[in-house]
Amino acid sequence: MSTGPRYLALADELGALIHSGALRAGDRLPSVRQTCQTRHLSPATVFQAYYLLESRGLVSAAPRSGYFVNALPLGASPRTSQPSAQPGPVAVSELVFEVLGASSAAALLPLGSAFPAATLFPLEPLRRALQAGMRKLEPAQITAELPLGHEGLRRQIALRYLRLGISMAPDEIVLTNGALEALNLCLQVLTRPGDAVLIEAPGFYAALQALERLGLRAIEVPTHAGEGADLDAMAALIAEHRPKACWLMTSFQNPLGSLMPADKKRALVALLAGAGIPLIEDDVYAELHHGPDAALPAKAYAPQGQVLHCGSFSKCLAPGYRVGWAAPGPYLRQLQRLKLMSSLGVSLPAQAGLNEYLQGGAYDAHLRRLRAALASQQQAMLAALQAQLPAGARMTRPRGGYFIWVELPAACDALLLQRQLLAEGISTAPGPIFSARAEFRHCLRLNSGHPWDARMAAGIARLGALAKAQLAP
Amino acid sequence: MSTGPRYLALADELGALIHSGALRAGDRLPSVRQTCQTRHLSPATVFQAYYLLESRGLVSAAPRSGYFVNALPLGASPRTSQPSAQPGPVAVSELVFEVLGASSAAALLPLGSAFPAATLFPLEPLRRALQAGMRKLEPAQITAELPLGHEGLRRQIALRYLRLGISMAPDEIVLTNGALEALNLCLQVLTRPGDAVLIEAPGFYAALQALERLGLRAIEVPTHAGEGADLDAMAALIAEHRPKACWLMTSFQNPLGSLMPADKKRALVALLAGAGIPLIEDDVYAELHHGPDAALPAKAYAPQGQVLHCGSFSKCLAPGYRVGWAAPGPYLRQLQRLKLMSSLGVSLPAQAGLNEYLQGGAYDAHLRRLRAALASQQQAMLAALQAQLPAGARMTRPRGGYFIWVELPAACDALLLQRQLLAEGISTAPGPIFSARAEFRHCLRLNSGHPWDARMAAGIARLGALAKAQLAP
């Protein structure tokens, strides 16, 4: 997949080996001379790759002996969740608004934010693309393209599907006001009030709110912090409760960061197809894999099946533009109509600008920089957490995205912690907002999407200190 | 209200007198010399005003004797509608999609379109404002301003309310993805499935679709083509059916173009307040008054009351930007939350661009040009309709907006006419799509928002010929 500079490809490849455990703490990297020979690279290229790995905190140089793999912060991973087995109504909205409302001030240290730092995005090139895209727009397009969305942009999105090996016509894509609208529309197409829907636990609070708003019951599936929803448990829940839909984030799940492996995605698709249950696949973090290889969505394993795949540019390119989409497969026509009735269409300047930017060909270079930044920020935050959190704390090490899920000792109260930290100018996202029944009270989600600096380090130190204080006798 | 060139103010003033009937066909305008004296204007200014009135088709020059008021196309107005008195479920969506789907091709003569011509909007200044607005946006604003919307833009909207004498804080305004999202959110805040909602008949098809989608029952209120909903009939329907909300377009209603007079708006507000029924006031054509004076919304007569006022820039400034708003009064918090859950926020480039444009101060000059164009296009289309339609046809002469509602002789079939005209490359909006029960079969809505030219004239001629052919024995 890597088409950028050679040093970056090499660094990404070695970084992935380290993350996967193929290279372990203390292992020596091949010498620069060896690597030059085996890979036909110049010494400058190999040095540059090794420097980058060092700056990501993955390796250290030992004078005269070469580069060695660092110990990753290897505290235990959180355990597979054990949510309530009975489906039930969702009642989380009030809590979510209370927490988010308090956390939105721009001056806060944004450990609880849902977005990466805006400075990680190509704001200036996007502005230029916006201008150029609008200049090219014919007046007649303005109203004619509104219902279906900008054709060029749908084509660009279709091309990115094609790169993943998924055949998709531009006409099969419904542009929406962010992926959140796509999710809401998909749920409305598939369900009626009172229906049950399978979701992960913990799960994205906006999905929980959507369920609550539409009067749906949540069936929370036990979810592994590394590999996502437990399919055996899901099969049992399906047999017992006959849900009408399943909503999952299969890659770099919010808040766990879990990545369902390819084989498991295949099995998921087979399980749901067998039960006749459509899958709403929320895949907004797909582009944010830290290693060189993209994770295929479940959609790739069911090209003709009932997978409603939802994506967005909000997390990987253009926050604030509010451009997302759904590729709803057999539900295309229903979704198109529901969108027409709900909001007519997506803001045209944003669509024209994104189309222009994507056509320009700079997207992949931006993504490589963004992924490298997210990977290195995550390493730094994990190291700080390892040093500061109380003994017994567990945390995820996602291979993509920018969330870290922390499981504190059971006696900790993340809602109390959230209020205490807020008083010191630090936001966090406490576990209960990710649960249909306010569970995960000793857990929290941290955002590692902001450049690591002294302020971030101080914030993690305060988090650790306050958590320890809660445990003091 | 007029702050533009003096000749324009004079032409608007005289034009309004003509439209209101104070000046009638054959009346002589005051001579240029008289007008110069009484109004302290230069002869050039007065001549420019009279030329403009002439170009609008309102007056004619008679050599050596001055300017005379033309006969307006004074066919009868449509009668007050008599919709079914029983509330019932709405089942219009399928027909609306069928008609609109067939009518969206850019090559059609857009007599059925819902938008004015894009060329009537300041596309180039808007593009520059978009660029400047984005340049001024701080990166931190991008995510911080998303939930509530761009503060500067909310302030600009609040200032426009203030010009109407309505006190409104920026924080009382909820920005939405067009007024359509605002309408949908208002209905969701006020109703539950099965509730009844008062609406005009004929009424805007998207509102009918919203009712259908939310499982609401429509109570269609008899509506006068000139002055809007019949309040006596409304009072009786309220007493009988206890609706949960009322949704009206009080100024330049779609499709009638009716304008509820100020006193009637006051009475409407009192009637609904007495019954405890909130009013959703859809006011997206407010800025498009043809005469010099703005029409105050019902909101102005109930500043603290239960009026959820909805506006938009889509019809008066920036089609395709999808920026609308609601000023929901006491329902502010509920609406804010529902919007957060539905689509999070509005596209930021569009908001930043509109804020910049409005701050720049060119909006009023644009509106004056737009209003003059819409008034003169309406005159031309009315004259053509008068000449071409079969005897017995009635039509509205709205004082704002760009719709003309035509009531053909009862034997005509507007759905058949729509298909016949479509085959000739001409779109129309047949009456049944504006009714909860597919009534108004002999009516249609025409769009006079496009520059009048030979192609438009030929389209109206074909409409007339096909309607007459339907009546032939």
Taking only the tens place, the pLDDT of each residue in B397-450 is: 999 999 999 999 999 999 999 999 999 999 999 999 999 888 999 999 999 999
Higher pLDDT, B431 or A148: B431
Interface test with B, best of A99, A340, A347 (most B CBs within 10 A): A347
Cis peptide bond N-terminal to A255, omega within 30: yes
User: Average of pLDDT values for A83-106?
Assistant: 80
Helix (H, G, I), strand (E, B) or coil at B9: helix
The pLDDT > 90 percentage for chain B reads 73
> Is the Cβ–Cβ distance between A194 and A215 less than 8 Å?
yes
Which uninterrupted H or E stretch holds A321? Answer: none
Give the CA distances from residue B453 to residues B376, B384, B399, B445, B450, in Å, rounded to whole numbers and listed in that order.
Answer: 12, 11, 22, 19, 9
For residue range A164-199, list pLDDT tens digits in order.
Answer: 999 999 999 999 999 999 999 999 999 999 999 999
Strands B429-430 and A174-176, bridge-based pairing: unpaired
pLDDT at A1: 39
Q: Are A341 and B139 within 8 A, CB to CB?
A: no
Contacts of B100 in chain A (CB under 8 A): 147
Phi, psi dihedrals of residue B246, rounded to the nearest 5°: -130, 130
> Is the Cβ–Cβ distance between A367 and A170 less than 8 Å?
no
User: Average of pLDDT values for B331-358?
Assistant: 95
Residue A75 has pLDDT above 70, yes or no: no
Higher pLDDT, B89 or A383: A383
User: Average of pLDDT values for B229-243?
Assistant: 97
Of the pLDDT bands very low, low, confident and very high (cuts 50, 70, 90), residue B335 is very high
Contacts of B338 in chain A (CB under 8 A): 213
Residue A86 has pLDDT above 90, yes or no: no
Higher pLDDT, A25 or A235: A235
Higher pLDDT, A93 or B415: B415
Residue A416 has pLDDT above 90, yes or no: yes
Of the pLDDT bands very low, low, confident and very high (cuts 50, 70, 90), residue A21 is low
Q: Are A213 and B338 within 8 A, CB to CB?
A: yes
Considering only CA atoms, which of B263, B329, B271 is closest in space to residue B295?
B263
Higher pLDDT, B303 or A205: A205
Residue A2 has pLDDT above 60, yes or no: no
pLDDT at B142: 84
Which member of B141, B343, B353 has the closest CB to residue A177?
A: B343
Q: In B74-138, which residue ranges form alpha helices assigned H by DSSP? A: 93-103, 123-136
pLDDT at A22: 64
Between A and B, how many residue pairs show a Cβ–Cβ distance under 8 A? 163
Instruction: Find the distance separating the first CA and the last CA of chain B, reported in whole Å.
Output: 53
pLDDT at B1: 39
Does the CA dihedral B317-B321-B326-B332 come out positive or negative? negative
Q: What is the mean pLDDT of chain B?
A: 91
Residue B3 has pLDDT above 60, yes or no: no
Q: Return d(Cα B427, Cα B459) in angstroms, integer.
A: 9
pLDDT at A73: 55
Residue A302 has pLDDT above 50, yes or no: yes
Q: To the nearest whole angstrom, how far is the Cα of A283 from the nearest Cα of chain B?
A: 17
Residue B197 has pLDDT above 60, yes or no: yes
Q: To the nearest whole angstrom, how far is the Cα of B64 from the nearest Cα of chain A?
A: 44
Q: What was the ipTM of the complex prediction?
A: 0.83
Considering only CA atoms, which of B324, B313, B320, B354 is closest in space to residue A150?
B320
The answer to whether residue A71 neighbours chain B at the CB level (below 8 Å) is no
Structure tokens at B273: 């307040």
Q: Among B12-26, B28-42, B224-238, B417-431, which stretch is predicted with the lowest mean pLDDT?
A: B12-26
Q: Among all residues of chain B, which has the CA nearest to that of A208?
A: B341
User: Average of pLDDT values for A284-295?
Assistant: 94
Going by the DSSP 8-state scheme, the letter that residue A30 receives in this structure is P
> Is the Cβ–Cβ distance between B268 and B299 less than 8 Å?
no
Q: To the nearest whole angstrom, how far is the Cα of A64 from the nearest Cα of chain B?
A: 44
pLDDT at A103: 74
- Domains detected in chain B: 6-69 (1.10.10.10), 88-119+365-471 (3.90.1150.10), 122-363 (3.40.640.10)
The answer to whether residue A74 neighbours chain B at the CB level (below 8 Å) is no
Q: Are B130 and A349 within 8 A, CB to CB?
A: yes
Which member of A127, A141, A144 has the closest CB to residue B131?
A: A127
pLDDT at A140: 81
Which member of B144, B320, B343 has the closest CB to residue A142?
A: B320
pLDDT at B22: 64
Residue B107 has pLDDT above 90, yes or no: no
For residue range B52-64, list pLDDT tens digits in order.
Answer: 888 777 888 888 8
Residue A3 has pLDDT above 70, yes or no: no
Residue A366 has pLDDT above 60, yes or no: yes
Structure tokens at A78: 């959180």
Q: Among all residues of chain A, which has the CA nearest to that of B212?
A: A341
Q: To the nearest whole angstrom, how far is the Cα of A37 from the nearest Cα of chain B?
A: 45
Q: Are B344 and A353 within 8 A, CB to CB?
A: no
CB A35: neighbour CB atoms within 10 A? Answer: 20
Structure tokens at A119: 């400075």
Q: Among all residues of chain B, which has the CA nearest to that of A347?
A: B321
> Is the Cβ–Cβ distance between A86 and A221 less than 8 Å?
no
User: Average of pLDDT values for A359-373?
Assistant: 96
By CB atoms closer than 10 A (0-12, 13-18, 19+), residue A144 is: buried
Which member of A140, A322, A342 has the closest CB to residue B118?
A: A140
Residue A461 has pLDDT above 90, yes or no: yes
For residue range B35-50, list pLDDT tens digits in order.
Answer: 898 888 999 999 999 9
The answer to whether residue A194 neighbours chain B at the CB level (below 8 Å) is no
Q: Among A259-268, B19-28, B102-111, B123-132, which stretch is predicted with the lowest mean pLDDT?
A: B19-28
Contacts of A450 in chain B (CB under 8 A): none
> Is the Cβ–Cβ distance between B197 and B243 less than 8 Å?
yes
Residue B71 has pLDDT above 80, yes or no: no
pLDDT at B20: 59
Structure tokens at A364: 């992949």
pLDDT at A289: 96
Considering only CA atoms, which of B152, B169, B160 is closest in space to residue B364?
B160
Which member of B180, B340, B347 has the closest CB to residue A344?
A: B180
Considering only CA atoms, which of B269, B277, B335 is closest in space to residue B302?
B269
Of the pLDDT bands very low, low, confident and very high (cuts 50, 70, 90), residue B313 is very high
Q: Return d(Cα A442, Cα A394) in angstroms, integer.
A: 11
Instruction: List, as one string, the DSSP characters of B373-387.
Output: HHHHHHHHHHHHHHH
Q: Return d(Cα A331, Cα A61) in angstroms, integer.
A: 55
Which uninterrupted H or E stretch holds B456? Answer: helix B454-471
Contacts of B104 in chain A (CB under 8 A): 144, 147
Residues 360-399 of A with CB under 8 A from B: none
Q: What is the mean pLDDT of chain A?
A: 92
Residues ≥6 apart with Cβ < 8 Å to B13 = B2, B292
> Is the Cβ–Cβ distance between A443 and A414 less than 8 Å?
yes
Instruction: List, as one string, the DSSP characters of A46-101.
Output: HHHHHHHHHHTTSEEEETTTEEEEPPP--PPPPPPP---SS-EE---HHHHHHHHH
Which member of B119, B142, B341 has the closest CB to residue A320?
A: B142
Residues 420-449 of B with CB under 8 A from A: none
User: Average of pLDDT values for A138-163?
Assistant: 89
